[in-house]
Chains A and B, each alone.
Chain A
């Protein structure tokens, strides 16, 4: 972790450059992951003073134990229906990702990003939010759209930039926008959504409404100023916002310590701003739901924002543009101590007698088939490589509400 002292100047300063515990070929080591046992962490009332729960930033809220039982005060008592709905959405998200990733590999689009291993964060949170609560996501919360019932076909059309792309071919694949589904336009510039969510939440309060905003940011992106702005404004104006840090351990090739959690977890950042923080097992559907529900209830009671750190793992590459085996051990994903969110929820349903391996396999097959059929439909419309594209006129529209003379001239110069 720390560079060695200067050989000739033993008392001199030396610059620390943090390094992950394991690089490719080295032994896995999750020793600095602060874990708590399932059911161990107390659940305070939602109107508690934030100063009384500072320790939660250093604990880990977990509900599912190693025997797949739901334990302790955070067990949310979700209905079997809700659990099955969550499982289905997570599995559909995964099947969708697989298919779109392959489409990119086949040259049907330019770029794709999966969220494998992190499905619970988006899907359980969608379950905990009301449909008219607003989401300010990153590119890794496609599970929100799927859980909220956004049409798969439209998602695919966006990814393939075809004629029916709802964003008219203008935006990079996966940077969706779905206003009708309470899903804000995703930016390619990291972090910007975090303060925007707080502004939306302030507007809801200003209008004496009941809606809350939820925002997501990656561990790496917490270093951007927008993270600080969001927490400052949320605290000052007591904005009804849920501020989620998705700590999937990696930011492309940089481990979470580069973003600053060597010495203190991301959740603990909330303390200095006077905000409560929850640190939660992000691969535990029940825990994510329960923590989010706590924060949503608190926000709706006009008690302001909560920072939630979701401890999870980016099980695949950052995007289609990188090969993670170049910078982290390939075994790290399989060795991740918090397991896989889909498998854990499925096993829990089995443990409570509501599910079976056969049912799981059948559902998986059904969802893969659904995705395949929808993808065929989307590809029949067109892909980035072949078939019908959005009209080139769309390139010049929506720069402004009314097209000014210079853009009209440029469009004419292009002959359209």
Chain B
């Protein structure tokens, strides 16, 4: 066991994977010598060799394209897209190729590719370093989408994703790389070392895909969240004084439907929280699922707290970011309904 922040946990996962499987290789913009702009691959090139962890041209479509070819040869690429905001040039390769390869070739070819990318706001990154892109991928048949919320899960989920035979879009909430930010931007952020989930085994372990975690047990209302928002929700729950059950989805798709329906049937209320823009966000899918499966248990309308339907604005970071005050207000509203 060691104490790790999220970057260290991800680094440790990739170190383990490179060591165990000679077919694993890592590439992306600035990931080689420099170790990535967030330092997630620091030291891996030095330790495992130039060919195992290397820099690529700035061409996201090319990055995903070559990873399909490599996967067809039997390799297991881990591709870093420097910011999720820069994944769009690769969208055709991901949607039309990576996601459908197994289906269209009747299983002759598969794409066991893991696409890692930092996403989300809270860092004054403006429009092009803050976006939450998950719904663009949950919408696509054939992709798994994973978002960890702490170092322990980050490592276990990344190992499980890379060992998974289907392609995984692995989105990393960059705001919590160094500590569990709860949305109170005016307070100092406590480091991961003070959080129990920073205890991370050194070796190999998996956190299974498709399994949510209960971040807080409660009986009044179920809150569905993932990534940074798990911590924001936990803070908001305390402030609202509501006995909420907080579910950290961890895998967005295929989502842990049992965990969701089990909890909502118990509490009778549901609030969904994400940073991404509200319209057609992943919350819309969750809301539909809950409505379809738990309608007769619901005592209040399902509420969504999400980013506004605007591009992510630089100067209005905290007016945009759905912080604890907005989440707490929704919790109170749902309890009053």
Contact = CB atoms under 8 A, between A and B. Distances in A.
A284 interface: no
Given A171-B126, A384-B124, A414 B309 contact: no
Interface in B1-48: 29-30, 32-34, 37
Interface in B83-139: 85-86, 88-89, 124-129
Nearest to A416: B319
Interface stretch (A50-58, A124-132, A194-202, A320-328): A320-328
Contact of B30 (A254, A395, A407): A254
Given A225-B59, A396-B308, A188 B126 contact: yes
Contacts of A224: 58-60, 89
Contact of B310 (A3, A173, A395): A395
Report which residue of A252, A254, A259 has the largest number of chain B beta carbons within 10 angstroms of its beta carbon. Answer: A254
Given A188-B129, A223-B62, A410 B278 contact: yes
B314 A326 contact: no
Given A189-B85, A223-B58, A395-B308, A172 B33 contact: no
Nearest to B60: A224
B316 interface: yes
A396 B312 CA distance: 10
A389 interface: yes
A111 interface: yes
Interface string B58-70: 1111100000000
Contacts of A350: none
Interface string A254-296: 1000111000000000000000000000000000000000000
Report which residue of B60, B278, B314 has the largest number of chain A beta carbons within 10 angstroms of its beta carbon. Answer: B314
Interface stretch (B49-57, B226-234, B244-252, B286-294): B49-57
Contacts of B315: 161, 165, 169-170, 384, 389-390
B37 A189 contact: no
A190 interface: yes
Contacts of B311: 170, 399
Contacts, number: 127
A399 B314 contact: no
B55 A253 contact: yes
Chain A interface bracket (under 10, 10 to 19, 20 to 34, 35 or more)? 35 or more
B57 A258 contact: yes
A173 B314 contact: yes
A43 to B, nearest CB: 33
B277 to A, nearest CB: 10
B279 interface: yes
Contact of A414 (B61, B88, B279, B319): B319
Given A170-B314, A410-B308, A254 B278 contact: no
Given A169-B313, A169-B316, A172-B129, A111 B50 contact: no
A253 B30 contact: yes
Contacts of A384: 124, 315
B124 A23 contact: no
A173 B315 CA distance: 10
A395 B128 contact: no
A246 interface: no
Nearest to A192: B89
A326 B203 CA distance: 29
Given A161-B315, A169-B316, A322-B37, A252 B30 contact: yes
Nearest to A175: B126
B308 A188 contact: no
A189 B59 CA distance: 11
A314 B209 CA distance: 44
Nearest to A389: B315
B13 to A, nearest CB: 22
Contact of A253 (B33, B128, B310, B319): B33
B152 interface: no
A395 B316 contact: yes
A223 to B, nearest CB: 3
A333 B316 CA distance: 37
B177 interface: no
B50 A17 contact: yes
A110 interface: yes
A110 B33 contact: no
B56 A258 contact: yes
A218 to B, nearest CB: 8
Nearest to A172: B126
Contacts of A341: none
Contacts of A406: 278-279, 309
Contacts of A251: 29, 58
A394 B62 CA distance: 37
Contacts of A171: 126-127, 314
B59 A19 contact: no
A220 interface: yes
Interface in A342-400: 384, 389-390, 392, 394-396, 399
Contact of B33 (A15, A23, A260, A407): A23
Interface string B312-325: 01111001100000
Contact of B127 (A111, A170, A253, A392): A170
Interface string A308-338: 0000000000000110001100000000000
Contacts of B61: 225
A232 interface: no
A389 B124 CA distance: 15
Interface in A4-24: 15, 17, 19, 23
A159 to B, nearest CB: 11
Contacts of B88: 189
Interface of B: 29-30, 32-34, 37, 50-51, 54-62, 85-86, 88-89, 124-129, 278-279, 308-311, 313-316, 319-320
Q: Which 8 A-B pairs have the closest CB atoms?
A: A188-B128, A169-B315, A172-B126, A223-B57, A253-B34, A110-B124, A161-B315, A223-B59
5 contacts: A170-B311, A189-B89, A252-B34, A389-B315, A414-B308
